[in-house]
Amino acid sequence: MKKVIKKYQDKYPKSIISKYQDNSIKIMWPFGSFIIIEIDKEGNEKLKLTYDKGLINIGLENILNHFNAQNEQTDITEQFRKADGTMPTVDEFNKPKIGGDIKIN
C-alpha cells in the first residue's frame, strides 16, 4: 500500500493521498475532485470510484445529455492520444485549449 501511495505522490504532487479502506487509496485534489483506487492482494490497481467536480458544475441536464450521448461500445481513449501515440499527462489534459466541443448557450 505504501509503495502505491508513494508512486501517486510522486506522479501527482498537487494531490492529497491517503489510505481509504483496507484495500484502497483515495487521491484528492484541493478543488474537490477525487478518485478511489482499489488494490488487490497481487498489487493490481483498479478504479473503484471517481468524483469530478468540474463535471458536476456543468449542471444536471448537461450531465444527463453527456451520458446519454455515450455509446458503451465506443472507447473514447483514442481521442486523447498525442501524435506520438502516448497519452497526455493530467496537467496536459487539463491545459485549456481553444475550440473543442464545449459550447455555451
The larger pLDDT score, comparing residue 30 to residue 75, is at 30
DSSP code for 62: H
Res 100 pLDDT > 90 = no
For residue 15, pLDDT over 80 is answered with yes
Average pLDDT of 55-63?
82
With b for 16 or more beta-carbon neighbours within 10 A and e for fewer, the 11-41 pattern comes to ebeebebeebeeebbbbbeeeebbbbbbbee
Phi/psi of residue 67, each to 5°?
-65, -40
Instruction: Label residue 28 by pLDDT band (50, 70, 90).
Output: very high
pLDDT at residue 27 in the model: 95
pLDDT for position 77 = 66
* C-alpha span between 21 and 96 (Å, rounded): 34
